[in-house]
Amino acid sequence: MTALCPGATPLPPAAPDVRSGLPSAARPARSAGPVVTELRLSAFASHRGTVLPIGPLTLFAGAAGSGKSSALRAYEALARLGAGDPLAEVFPDPEAYVPERAGADAQGRRGFRIGCTTDGPAGPVRLDLAVQAEPTLRIVGERLTGGGETLLTTALRDPGRSTVQAAWHTAGTVPVTRAPLPDDVLGTALLPLRVAGTTEGQVRVLAAVEQTVVALRSVFACEPQPQRMRAPVPSGEDRLRRGCENLAAVLERTHTQCGQRHARLVAAAGAGCAGTVTGLGVERLSDGKVQALVERDGGHRTPVGRLGDGELRYLALALVLLTGPGVLAMEAAGEVPSAMQTLTVLADGLDRDLDGRQLRRLLALAASIGAAGHLRLVGTVAEAAASEARRTAGVTVVDLEP
């Protein structure tokens, strides 16, 4: 039996594409777990009233200044808040996301509003968030709705306190439960510790909360940095970092523990790297560090540090698509089995340094793996790459205008 990475879900069977060495894309299946289906940027950076659909393979396209990166930034911010990260860590420069020309109110307050919709066992659930950026960073309003009901609301009642007044649906002897919550964390992420689940209303609240939190937490933001991927790295750092600088250490693990995925990665490398690739290996150096090697015909081995920027980014992105929470530097929702989760990869500048052939291969790979419902890809591409992406089955291109 072929070895798999610990905690990884099996790859879907797919017929090989003889032209590229990659599996042919299959029709997208229903997601295995809760997912984000819509991103709302009511007032965020350059966006006002923007509603973005999120599918299994979604790319935001547009000219410079169209808000592609800020849209992905809002998605990642919601994901981090859903994981319980403090507001100040998620938005270290909150004023940067206040819409330009947005005036302050009588108390000198300015801020931004974002939200999303998730889908899963609880049906469509909406989360909307109002954040005050000035004069003090805080969450001033939050609303969770589902099934035609308001399940949670929070509001700032006393600006002198670092709390908001929360009210959540109970549907028992008391229809609504009220309590203060901190104004620097997402209230939705705190509710599992506050709601007992003893009434039908509380059960509905917990179901909606769990769906929202799992959908948001199952995210990995990937930004491969070729200049940091060339040097040898310490062995044993087998959780891939956001910048993919420890690629060699992760390859050491996949080579020995994830046979099926490693074989798929070799096939992907052959389709996107120059020359004939027969394998990907790792060499241990005298100082204990490891460097990744590309194996070619005749036993020739090339350190990945000699690859071009495009080849390194392509290789890192292929590795991300082929692995999962057990290998990526992210914390999956531990209380939910991996078979019931769907990983969403966020890739800003997906096409950066890639040629058309490499982009096509990555999108085909994402579509093939995503067919099982365990992986989604949301990225940004420049206008020139959008037409290429539209020719790939299963890809949704969302055009943004400056």
Report pLDDT digits (tens) over 171-218. 878 899 999 999 999 999 999 989 988 899 999 999 999 999 999 999
3-state secondary structure 116-180: EEEECCCCCEEEEEEEEEECCCEEEEEEEEECCEEEEEEECCCCCCCEEEEEEECCCCCCEEEEE
Report pLDDT digits (tens) over 370-381. 888 889 999 999
Taking each helix axis from N to C end, the angle separating 356-370 and 383-390, rounded to the nearest 10 degrees, works out to 50
**Which of 212-226, 253-267, 311-325 shows the highest mean pLDDT?**
212-226
- Asked whether residue 22 carries a pLDDT value surpassing 60, the answer given is no
- Asked whether residue 246 carries a pLDDT value surpassing 80, the answer given is yes
The number of beta carbons lying within 10 Å of the beta carbon of residue 375 is 29
Question: What pLDDT does residue 55 have?
Answer: 95
Question: What pLDDT does residue 108 have?
Answer: 87
Nearest to 227 by CA among 144, 304, 300, 127: 304
Q: Is the peptide bond before 232 cis (omega within 30 degrees of 0)?
A: no
Mean pLDDT to the nearest integer, 354-365: 94
Q: Whole-number mean pLDDT of the chain?
A: 88
Q: Is pLDDT larger for residue 102 or for residue 119?
A: 119
Tokens (6 digits) for 402: 């400056």
Tokens (6 digits) for 297: 């015909």
Residue 326: which pLDDT band, with cuts at 50, 70 and 90? Answer: low
Residue 1: which pLDDT band, with cuts at 50, 70 and 90? Answer: very low
Mean pLDDT to the nearest integer, 324-352: 72
Q: What angle do CA 365, 366, 368 make, to 5 degrees?
A: 65
Nearest to 133 by CA among 68, 184, 200: 184
- Would you give the DSSP letter of residue 7? T
Q: Is pLDDT larger for residue 219 or for residue 32?
A: 219
What number of H helices and E strands is found in the chain? 10, 17
- Asked whether residue 274 carries a pLDDT value surpassing 60, the answer given is yes
Helix runs in 168-246, H state only: 187-190, 200-217, 226-229
- Asked whether residue 254 carries a pLDDT value surpassing 90, the answer given is no
Question: What pLDDT does residue 179 have?
Answer: 95
Tokens (6 digits) for 175: 């229809």
Question: What pLDDT does residue 24 have?
Answer: 38
Nearest to 363 by CA among 28, 8, 47: 28
Q: What angle do CA 125, 127, 132 make, to 5 degrees?
A: 175
- Residue 360: phi, psi to the nearest 5? -60, -40
Tokens (6 digits) for 152: 């949670």
- pTM strictly above 0.85: yes
Residue identified by tokens 């991300």 is 320
Share of the chain above pLDDT 70, in %: 88
Cα–Cα dist 190/47, whole Å: 28
Residue 86: which pLDDT band, with cuts at 50, 70 and 90? Answer: very high
Whether 137 and 94 have beta carbons less than 8 Å apart is answered as yes
- Asked whether residue 23 carries a pLDDT value surpassing 50, the answer given is no
Residue 399: which pLDDT band, with cuts at 50, 70 and 90? Answer: very high
Domains of the chain: 35-217 (3.40.50), 220-399 (3.40.50.300)
Cα–Cα dist 393/380, whole Å: 17
